[in-house]
Amino acid sequence: MRVEKDVLDFEYMRHIAAVIEAWQRPARMLALHVGAGVCTMARYLVHAYPDSRHIAVDIDTALPELARQWWDLPRSPQLRVRAQDGLDAVASRHDDSLDVLVRDAFSEALTPPTLADAVWWSHARRTVRAGGVVVANVGTVPGSAAHVADAAAARAAFGDVVAIGEPAVLKGKRRGNVVLAAGAGLNVDELRRYAASAPLPTVVDAAWAR
C-alpha cells in the first residue's frame, strides 16, 4: 500500500514523490540518492515501492551513521547508506546502471557547484538507463543566477526538462526550492494534475530558467 505524500513535511519532497509517480517505473527500480541527509526520501520510496532498491550517499560522514542509530532504516539490499562525495558517487557508476537519480544536496542555500554543472549532469545522463529519470532539488535565492546554469546543464544532457515549484519561487521573487525532472517516460500531464491539486500554489514549467 502506498504511503501518502502527506507524510512528507517539505513541499519539494512531495514534488519529488509526484515525479516518481508520474514516471513509467520499471518493476524493480534502483535509485541513487545524492545528499542522503537522514534518508527521508529514500525511506519514503522504499515504503511506497517495496520492490525498489536504494543507495543513499552523503558527504557528511556522521549523518548516515546517525540515521541508522535514530531510525529503523530498511536494511540492505533495500537501502544501502554510505558516506561519499556526491560527484564521486555518480562518476564512479557504470553506464546505464540506475533507474532513478535523486539529487538533494546543499551548501547553505544552494547546490554545491560540482553537483550542478555540465560534468555532473553528463555523468547523470551516462549512468541513468534508457527510460530513467533524474530528479534534482534546486535551491533558489533572489539575485542569484546559480540555478540558471544548473537548468541549462540539465537540458544540455537530457533535452526536455520540467521544473516544479511555487510561482513566486520559479519567477525568482522569493527564496525556495524548485524540483527539476529530466528523462524519458515522464507524464507531464499527470504532473500538472498533481500541481493543480497541491496544497500550495504549484506550477509545472518546461521553460524555467531559459
CATH number where 130 lies: 3.40.50.150
Contacts 24+ apart (CB under 8 A), 142-151: 142/172, 142/173, 142/174, 142/175, 144/110, 146/110, 146/111, 146/113, 146/116, 147/178, 147/209, 148/209, 149/116, 149/117, 150/111, 150/116, 150/117, 150/180, 150/209, 151/180, 151/208, 151/209, 151/210
Question: 31 and 42 in contact (C-beta within 8 Å)?
Answer: yes
Q: Assess if residue 62 is contained within a domain.
A: yes
Asked whether the predicted pLDDT for residue 61 surpasses 70, the reply is no
State residue 1's pLDDT score: 29
Residues 56, 49: Cα–Cα separation, whole Å:
16
Residues 55, 23: Cα–Cα separation, whole Å:
19
Q: Chain-wide mean pLDDT for the chain?
A: 90
| Helix residue ranges, H only, the chain | 11-21, 40-48, 62-70, 86-91, 118-127, 146-158, 167-170, 188-196
Which range is least confidently modeled, 12-21, 22-31, 67-76, 176-185?
A: 67-76
Structural domain of residue 120, as residue ranges? 5-205
User: Which residue reads 517505473 in cell numbers?
Assistant: 25
Q: Assess if residue 157 is contained within a domain.
A: yes
Domain count, the chain: 1
Q: Assess if residue 82 is contained within a domain.
A: yes
Q: Assess if residue 198 is contained within a domain.
A: yes
How sure is the predictor about 72, in pLDDT bands with cuts at 50, 70 and 90? low
State residue 71's pLDDT score: 65
Q: Assess if residue 59 is contained within a domain.
A: yes
Q: Assess if residue 210 is contained within a domain.
A: no
Q: Residue 142, preceding bond cis, omega within 30 degrees?
A: no
Longest dimension (CA), the chain: 43
C-alpha to C-alpha distances, 167 to 14, 103, 178, 192, 205, nearest whole angstrom: 16, 22, 10, 13, 9
Q: Assess if residue 161 is contained within a domain.
A: yes
Helix 11-21 to helix 40-48 angle (10° resolution) is 40
Measured at the alpha carbon of residue 198, what is the angle toward residues 43 and 210, in degrees to the nearest 5? 90
Q: Assess if residue 37 is contained within a domain.
A: yes
Quick count: other Cβ atoms within 10 Å of Cβ 2?
9
How sure is the predictor about 64, in pLDDT bands with cuts at 50, 70 and 90? low
